[in-house]
């Protein structure tokens, strides 16, 4: 971790130190750390364990369990294509294939410039207006494969 | 003349373009934009509304240029013109599409909070008795009688008890919990307060999946609002309510896994008993129900148990919130009494297949439910009849697939999901789902044999009988019903197989 990341981690851990008489919460703490650093570096496991007074193995176990906790940095933007059944019925697999083609990466991969990570997600609860694509926290509905070029380039134009 | 235009702020309405309309029209003088909950008729979104002489006027699939017509009240239709909405029996969702989600005063003025006011004046036994005579069963999938859980948690003496809303609405094709949290957040708070009063809890958590950022944010604002208004108090004691965000694990929708996750650990399933009502969060008595269940509790307390018990069928009292999706013209939320047949629902509300598509199958109950072919659509939507057929209503998700759907691909898709999301605690699910996926991949590549189908059936039977929770225990159903009803799709792949 860089010095600024170390400092940010310390601040995050201050916020998640358990109140007296309350149990520590590893998951909540890791989500908090990830919100600040973008991921949970391996070097953060020790400080998290110390702050919560739990074994490092417990922290590592929680970190490895949850699909949305990331032990490595990801793209600055995350594109998620919904593969819930309602979207699949409406051909979201074609949308995913088109994203793979445009970005030149597979599921779970990040573009070489570090800009974009592509993921699949099982249902965003947007089934009424699927197929659905989520880019960071913005949800797009009724997406066709042919829309993806525009959607991705619009997102690329946004300041990071 | 100034005009107030209502646009939904629901995630799906926004994904369909409501934000773009709101931004464009907000710049026009004399136009006042109000963001509301959604009616759930998502095929109409973005849906613009204004007040007319006899109630709301609606402009479905509105675009920017509709502003002039809306200003003049030209071309708007009424609710009665939308059979999808007019034919429903709305209760929990009755006010959806009309009110602003975070206006507590509006919620109360429109009839909200009456359930809590009534419960507040009753002894806890009377509240539990009300649940018992209402016949309410959990709406999250397990359909367990609510009063029984409440009674058990109430009887157990403990220094602390918890109420937990399961907002990990993970079944693909479902969204009613998201709609409630985004659209009428105070209703969930009200239902949880009633439960807390009945069992003697002083803490509550809403476990919300990360895929619902807007729902979590709305709930947090609503809790803060209710706190400011001094409403989070039970028998003069403060009730502490918090939103807890998950990190993407389907199994965390299972109640013991959810509680492990809420404690901050790996979201893995535990053997029951003990049930959470006796030993749940941190080992304390805990009632876990999904969002729709708590939302229904508030309605039952407001209207009385008899109202609820008079609706539906013998074993399935009340209303079911169906969430229609897939290859149909009219995807959206349908709230009707239990007991209508699947065919009836698809015909009356689904609006037919999208252009160029023919019906092939319908999935009911999410990824752990069953596939139904056209010949099986006469089944009534109620717990008992589904159970007799070896199926589940689950969370009320109904997804329609068309003639172009390849059932081998779909079955492989289901099993990939099961393997991806298995928590790994028990071997039948952890290993069985991977082996089943591999078998299906082999068939998909045209390398499968008839013996592979027999192996799948055998593996499915083992997973059903020996898995620790419904994830492994029900995962074989979509695959086995696909093979049962759409054997041709599988046979086609087998007959042209390459020799191994």
In a 3-state reduction of DSSP, which class is residue A24? coil
In a 3-state reduction of DSSP, which class is residue B287? strand
Question: Which of B15, B248, B421 has the CB atom closest to A126's CB atom?
Answer: B15
When scoring A127, A144, A151 by the number of chain B Cβ atoms within 10 A, the one with the most, hence best to mutate, is A127
Nearest residue in chain A measured CA to CA from B177: A125
Q: Could you give the CA distance from residue B333 to residue B327 in angstroms, rounded to a whole number?
A: 15
Task: From chain B, pick out residues whose CB is under 8 angstroms from the CB of A29.
Answer: 264
Residue A130 touches chain B, beta carbons under 8 Å? yes
Is A89 within 8 Å of B402 when comparing Cβ atoms?
A: yes
Chain B residues 199-228 within an 8 A CB cutoff of chain A? 210-213
The backbone torsions φ and ψ at residue B164, rounded to the nearest 5 degrees and listed phi first, read: -125, 125
A77-82 and A133-135: which strand pairing? Answer: antiparallel
Is B263 within 8 Å of A124 when comparing Cβ atoms?
A: no
This prediction has a pTM of 0.97
Question: Which of A25, A67, A140 has the CB atom closest to B15's CB atom?
Answer: A140
pLDDT per residue of chain B (500 residues) written in tens, 0 to 9: 799 999 999 999 999 999 999 999 999 999 999 999 999 999 999 999 999 999 999 999 999 999 999 999 999 999 999 999 999 999 999 999 999 999 999 999 999 999 999 999 999 999 999 999 999 999 998 899 999 999 999 999 999 999 999 999 999 999 999 999 999 999 999 999 999 999 999 999 999 999 999 999 999 999 999 999 999 999 999 999 999 999 999 999 999 999 999 999 999 999 999 999 999 999 999 999 999 999 999 999 999 999 999 999 999 999 999 999 999 999 999 999 999 999 999 999 999 999 999 999 999 999 999 999 999 999 999 999 999 999 999 999 999 999 999 999 999 999 999 999 999 999 999 999 999 999 999 999 999 999 999 999 999 999 999 999 999 999 999 999 999 999 999 999 996 555 54
- Length of chain B equals 500
Is B42 within 8 Å of A129 when comparing Cβ atoms?
A: yes
Task: From chain B, pick out residues whose CB is under 8 angstroms from the CB of A31.
Answer: 245, 247
Distance from CA of A49 to the nearest CA of B (A): 13
A-B C-beta contacts closer than 8 Å: 148
B162-167 and B48-52: which strand pairing? Answer: unpaired
Tally Cβ neighbours within 10 Å of residue B27.
Answer: 7
Is B178 within 8 Å of A125 when comparing Cβ atoms?
A: yes
When scoring A85, A95, A107, A134 by the number of chain B Cβ atoms within 10 A, the one with the most, hence best to mutate, is A85
Q: Could you give the CA distance from residue B130 to residue B52 in angstroms, rounded to a whole number?
A: 39
User: B286: closest CA among B250, B242, B264, B256?
Assistant: B256
When scoring A22, A71, A124, A128 by the number of chain B Cβ atoms within 10 A, the one with the most, hence best to mutate, is A128
Q: How far is CA A30 from the centre of its chain?
A: 13
Residue B140 touches chain A, beta carbons under 8 Å? no
Would you say B211 and A125 are in contact if contact means Cβ atoms under 8 Å apart? yes
In the numeric block, the tokens 């989500």 are attached to: A31
Tally Cβ neighbours within 10 Å of residue B464.
Answer: 18
Task: From chain B, pick out residues whose CB is under 8 angstroms from the CB of A25.
Answer: 263-264
Residue A92 touches chain B, beta carbons under 8 Å? no
Task: From chain B, pick out residues whose CB is under 8 angstroms from the CB of A58.
Answer: 265
Percentage helix, strand, coil, to 5, in chain B? 45, 15, 35
Nearest residue in chain A measured CA to CA from B45: A129
Would you say B190 and B114 are in contact if contact means Cβ atoms under 8 Å apart? no
Task: From chain B, pick out residues whose CB is under 8 angstroms from the CB of A140.
Answer: 15
Question: Which of B16, B212, B250 has the CB atom closest to A122's CB atom?
Answer: B250
Distance from CA of B175 to the nearest CA of A (A): 5
User: B436: closest CA among B384, B485, B478?
Assistant: B478
Whether ipTM > 0.85 holds is yes
- State the helix-helix crossing angle for A92-103 and A148-157, rounded to 10 degrees: 50
Non-local CB neighbours of B332 within 8 Å, separated by 6+ positions: A128, B39, B40, B41, B42, B43, B44, B84, B323, B324, B349
**A121-146 pLDDT tens trace:** 999 999 999 999 999 989 999 999 99
Q: How far is CA B493 from the centre of its chain?
A: 35
């Amino acid at each position: 971790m860089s010095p600024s990341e170390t400092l940010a981690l310390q601040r995050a851990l201050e916020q998640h130190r358990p109140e007296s008489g309350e149990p520590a919460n590893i998951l909540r703490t890791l989500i908090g750390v990830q919100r600040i650093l973008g991921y949970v570096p391996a070097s953060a496991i020790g400080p998290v364990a110390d702050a919560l007074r739990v074994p490092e193995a417990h922290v590592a176990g929680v970190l490895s369990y949850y699909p949305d906790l990331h032990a490595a940095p990801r793209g600055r933007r995350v594109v998620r294509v919904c593969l819930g059944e309602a979207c699949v019925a409406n051909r979201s697999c074609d949308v995913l294939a088109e994203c793979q083609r445009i970005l030149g990466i597979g599921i779970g991969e990040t573009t070489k410039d570090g800009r974009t990570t592509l993921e699949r997600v099982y249902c965003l609860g947007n089934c009424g207006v699927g197929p659905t694509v989520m880019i960071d926290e913005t949800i797009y509905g009724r997406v066709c494969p042919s829309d993806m070029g525009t959607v991705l380039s619009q997102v690329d134009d946004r300041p990071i | 003349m100034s005009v107030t235009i209502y646009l939904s702020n629901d995630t799906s309405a926004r994904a369909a373009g409501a934000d773009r309309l709101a931004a464009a029209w907000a710049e026009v003088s004399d136009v006042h934009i109000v963001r509301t909950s959604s009616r759930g008729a998502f095929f109409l979104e973005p849906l613009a509304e204004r007040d007319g002489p006899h109630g709301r006027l609606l402009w479905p699939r509105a675009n920017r240029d509709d502003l002039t017509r809306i200003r003049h009240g030209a071309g708007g239709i009424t609710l009665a013109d939308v059979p999808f909405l007019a034919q429903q029996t709305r209760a929990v969702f009755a006010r959806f599409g009309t009110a602003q989600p975070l206006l507590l005063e509006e919620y109360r003025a429109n009839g909200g909070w009456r359930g809590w006011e009534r419960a507040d004046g009753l002894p806890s036994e009377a509240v539990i008795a009300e649940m018992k005579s209402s016949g309410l069963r959990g709406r999250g999938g397990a359909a367990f009688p609510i009063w029984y859980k409440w009674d058990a948690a109430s009887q157990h003496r403990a220094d602390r008890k918890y109420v937990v809303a399961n907002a990990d609405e993970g079944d693909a094709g479902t969204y009613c919990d998201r709609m409630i949290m985004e659209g009428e957040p105070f209703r969930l708070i009200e239902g949880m307060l009633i439960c807390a009063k009945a069992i003697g809890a002083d803490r509550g958590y809403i476990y919300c999946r990360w895929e619902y950022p807007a729902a979590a944010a709305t709930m947090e604002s609503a809790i803060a609002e209710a706190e400011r208004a001094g409403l989070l108090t039970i028998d003069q004691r403060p009730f502490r309510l918090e939103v807890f965000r998950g990190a993407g694990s389907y199994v965390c929708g299972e109640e013991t896994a959810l509680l492990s996750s809420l404690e901050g650990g790996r979201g893995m399933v535990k053997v029951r008993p003990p049930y959470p009502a006796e030993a749940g969060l941190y080992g304390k008595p805990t009632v876990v129900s999904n969002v729709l269940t708590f939302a229904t509790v508030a309605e039952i307390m407001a209207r009385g148990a008899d109202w609820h018990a008079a609706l539906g069928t013998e074993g399935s009292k009340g209303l079911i919130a169906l969430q229609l999706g897939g290859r149909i013209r009219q995807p959206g939320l349908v709230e009707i009494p239990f007991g209508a047949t699947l065919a009836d629902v698809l015909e009356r509300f689904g609006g037919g297949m999208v252009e160029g598509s023919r019906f092939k199958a319908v999935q009911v109950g999410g990824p752990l439910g069953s596939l139904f072919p056209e010949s099986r659509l006469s089944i009534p939507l109620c717990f008992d009849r589904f159970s007799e057929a070896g199926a589940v209503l689950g969370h009320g998700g109904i997804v329609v697939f068309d003639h172009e759907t390849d059932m081998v691909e779909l079955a492989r898709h289901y099993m990939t999901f099961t393997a991806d999301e298995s928590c790994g605690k028990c071997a039948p699910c952890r290993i069985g789902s991977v082996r089943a996926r591999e078998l299906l991949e082999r068939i998909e590549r045209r390398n499968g044999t008839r013996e592979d189908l027999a192996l799948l059936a055998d593996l499915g039977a083992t997973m059903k009988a020996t898995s620790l929770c419904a994830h492994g225990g029900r995962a074989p159903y979509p695959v086995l019903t696909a093979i049962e009803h759409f054997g041709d799709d599988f046979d086609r792949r087998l007959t042209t197989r390459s020799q191994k």
